[in-house]
C-alpha cells in the first residue's frame, strides 16, 4: 500500500463529515452555512490536488486515459471544480450588491448539486480506484 493511500481515505471521511454538516445547516439559514461551505470548498480543493498528484499519477501508467475509471474521475474533478468556482463567485457577492439575490439563488441551487456530485464521486473512487491503489507498492 503506498504511503499516501491512508491520507486519501481519511480525506474522504473528512469530506463526508463536512458535507453532512452542510446538508444539516442548509434548510434553516437564509444564507446556508457559508463558513462551512468555505471550509468544504477549501478542503475539497486541497484533497483533489493531493489525489491528482498521488492516486491519479500512480494509476495513469496502468489505466486507459480516454475511458475507464481514471478518465471518469478526472472528468468528475473538472465538474466539481466548475461547481466550486461558481459557488465561490456567488458567495463573494456582497449583500448590498444588486446581484445578491441572484448569487444567493445560485448558492441554493449549486450547493445540493455539489453535495450530490461529491458523494457520487467519492463512492465511485472508493469502488473503482481505491482498490487498485491499495495493491500498489
Q: Total number of residues binding Fe ion (CB under 5 A)?
A: 1
Q: How far is the CB of 107 from Fe ion (least distance, A)?
A: 23
Q: Which residue has the cell 468556482?
A: 85
The alpha-helical segments, DSSP class H, found in the chain are 5-25, 34-51, 57-59, 68-91, 100-128, 130-134
Selected range binding Fe ion among 17-25, 48-56, 64-72, 91-99, rule: CB under 5 A: 48-56
Selected range binding Fe ion among 7-15, 46-54, 57-65, 90-98, rule: CB under 5 A: 46-54
Which residue has its beta carbon closest to Fe ion? 51
Q: Judged by CB, which is closer to Fe ion: 102, or 134?
A: 134
**49-88: which residues touch Fe ion (CB under 5 A)?**
51
For residue 113, what are the CA distances in angstroms to 2, 23, 35, 51, 106?
32, 11, 18, 21, 11
Q: How far is the CB of 64 from Fe ion (least distance, A)?
A: 18
**Are 70 and 64 spatial neighbours (Cβ–Cβ below 8 Å)?**
yes
The residue ranges that bind Fe ion (CB under 5 A) are: 51
Amino acid at each position: 500500500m503506498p504511503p499516501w493511500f491512508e491520507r486519501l481515505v481519511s480525506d474522504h471521511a473528512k469530506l463526508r463529515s463536512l458535507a453532512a454538516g452542510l446538508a444539516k445547516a442548509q434548510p434553516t439559514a437564509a444564507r446556508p452555512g457559508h463558513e462551512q461551505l468555505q471550509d468544504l470548498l477549501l478542503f475539497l480543493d486541497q484533497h483533489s490536488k493531493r489525489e491528482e498528484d498521488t492516486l491519479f499519477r500512480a494509476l495513469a501508467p496502468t489505466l486507459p486515459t480516454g475511458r475507464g475509471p481514471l478518465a471518469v474521475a478526472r472528468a468528475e474533478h473538472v465538474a466539481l471544480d466548475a461547481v466550486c468556482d461558481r459557488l465561490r463567485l456567488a458567495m463573494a457577492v456582497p449583500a448590498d450588491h444588486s446581484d445578491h439575490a441572484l448569487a444567493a439563488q445560485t448558492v441554493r441551487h449549486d450547493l445540493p448539486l455539489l453535495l450530490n456530485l461529491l458523494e457520487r464521486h467519492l463512492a465511485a473512487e472508493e469502488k473503482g480506484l481505491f482498490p487498485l491503489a491499495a495493491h500498489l507498492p
